[in-house]
Amino acid sequence: MSEILPYWAVFLHGLGVTVVVTILGGVVAVATAFAAGLAQLSTHRLFRWPAYTFVEVFRGTSMLVQMFWFFFALPFFGFQLTPMTAAVLAVGLNEGAYAAEIVRGSIASRPRGQDEACTALGMGRALRLRRVLIPQAIPSMLPPFGNVMIDLLKATSLVSLVTVGELTFQAQTVRNTTAQTTAVFVTLLVLYFVMASALALLTKWLERRFALDRPSGPRRRGAMRLVKVGVDA
């Protein structure tokens, strides 16, 4: 291990890039998941079919190929993306397509009585989603969303193929320089494990924070009463 200590600055630089790609990709993934997931629940084909097509295309094709399309193919159509932008879009949209099914399934699985109770109270579709259905579905979304974020973190190891110098790329550079294969890859495993564990702990905290039985303000109590009315109905 002592042979790679002088290269810790290289590891830290790659770690910083990995964290940035993970955070930005996570933002894209969450935004994409809610947009595509809610669109698939729409009663209008204009929203539902494009969202369904997007999810199937991005789930059914390789993330690496998508990344190459963003970086190498789009310039032929007049769109030149920076390596970081191409990397973030590829990992974010790909993982967002998987997460869209989490959003759709979690909301669609809510008891039918909740929707009927909201309708009886005169709530429109958008208000029902915002005030009752989405808040009630978030606790069931969080565990699979945590898995998606961890998978996104690990997928950042591919972005070096579009010239983004993330952690795995920098580790390979150190390995090629020092020939310390075991030490370099053990360090790499530990760093990824620490980051994945941090995401898992964040997910656990969010699960406790958004648990339905957690005491909170009057808005949540009102929503819980509305849910009870729907279930009893």
Model pLDDT for residues 137-165, shown as the tens digit of each residue? 888 899 999 999 999 999 999 999 998 98
Contact between 94 and 66 under an 8 Å Cβ cutoff? The reply is yes
- Number of structural domains in the chain: 1
DSSP label of 73? I
Q: Is residue 148 part of a domain?
A: yes
- Tokens representing residue 46 in the block: 């204009």
CATH code: domain of residue 109 = 1.10.3720.10
Contact between 47 and 39 under an 8 Å Cβ cutoff? The reply is yes
Q: Is residue 167 part of a domain?
A: yes
Give the other-Cβ count within 10 Å of 2's Cβ: 7
Phi, psi angle pair for 61, to nearest 5°: -125, 160
Q: Is residue 175 part of a domain?
A: yes
The chain-wide mean pLDDT, for the chain, equals 85
pLDDT for the residue 178: 84
N- to C-terminal Cα separation, the chain:
65
The H or E element spanning position 98 is helix 83-108
Phi, psi angle pair for 28, to nearest 5°: -60, -40
Place of tokens 């998508």: 66
Structural domain span for residue 118: 19-232
DSSP3 helix / strand / coil % (the chain, rounded to 5): 85, 0, 15
Q: Is residue 10 part of a domain?
A: no
Please list, in sequence order, all residues whose beta carbon lies within 8 angstroms of the beta carbon of residue 104, skipping any fewer than 6 positions away. 36, 37, 38, 40, 41
Q: Is residue 1 part of a domain?
A: no
Please list, in sequence order, all residues whose beta carbon lies within 8 angstroms of the beta carbon of residue 132, skipping any fewer than 6 positions away. 114, 118, 123, 223, 226, 227
Share of the chain above pLDDT 70, in %: 85
Q: Is residue 3 part of a domain?
A: no
**Alpha-carbon dihedral 20, 22, 25, 30, rounded to 10 degrees:** -130
pLDDT in tens, 7-36: 788 889 999 999 999 999 999 999 999 999
Using a 10 angstrom Cβ sphere, with 0-12 exposed, 13-18 middle and 19 or more buried, the burial of residue 62 is exposed
pLDDT in tens, 174-211: 888 888 888 888 999 999 999 999 999 999 999 888 87
Lowest-confidence range among 6-15, 96-105, 125-134, 155-164? 125-134
Q: Is residue 7 part of a domain?
A: no
Q: Is residue 11 part of a domain?
A: no
What global pTM score does this model have?
0.83
Residues in the chain: 233
